Structure 1
Amino acid sequence: MFLPKYPDNPTPPPAHTHTPNDPMPARRSLPPVAINRNTVVALVVGGVVLTALLAAVAVTAISVAIAAVVLRSMLRDHRR
């Protein structure tokens, strides 16, 4: 019959196995952004334009609302 072969002097497994830590991955930095005078001017002009457009939309909405109220009152008076 076949008997398994055992080592003569078995050593027990170590209680704590040391696994080396992987070094922390390097943080990817954002690409450098050159902030110069032209960039600031472009942002300010863009902000002014967007603000003007928003104001124009608000004024238009208020004008349409006022016109609707006036027309409604005129039609109500016409029906009487």
Structure 2
Amino acid sequence: MLLPKYPDNPTPPPAHTHAPTDPAPVQRSLPSVSIDHKTIAALVVGGVVLTALLAAVAVTAISVAVAAVVLRSMLRDQRR
């Protein structure tokens, strides 16, 4: 006579077993990059130059807008 494999447990054993298909990926680190003082200085100078250029463009745009408003009001006054 054959006895059940798990006599105390009424649920049947699972039909399949879960096995991981791939092992965990290997963690790779980025190569170390050395940053010297010259690189930092170049970045700071570049940032200052770009900021100054942006400020110059903004000031120019505001000046052109003000000049346009003044010319428009002068021409409007001349027509009357």
TM-score (normalizing by structure 2): 0.71
Written as runs of structure 1 = structure 2, the 5 A alignment for 1:21-40 is 22-40=22-40
Deviates more, 1:32-41 or 1:69-78: 32-41
Please list every run of 5 or more consecutive structure 2 residues that lacks an aligned counterpart in the other structure: 1-12
Report the count of equivalent residues: 67
Deviations 1:23-79 (A, max 9, x none): 311123223221110111111011101100110001000100110011001101110
- Provide the C-alpha distance between the structure 2 equivalents of 1:43 and 1:29, rounded to a whole number of angstroms: 25
Written as runs of structure 1 = structure 2, the 5 A alignment for 1:9-24 is 15=14, 16-20=16-20, 22-24=22-24
Structure 1 residues 62 and 17: CA distance shift in structure 2, 3 A: same
Percent of aligned pairs with the same amino acid: 78
- Provide the C-alpha distance between the structure 1 equivalents of 2:42 and 2:27, rounded to a whole number of angstroms: 31
TM-score (normalizing by structure 1): 0.71
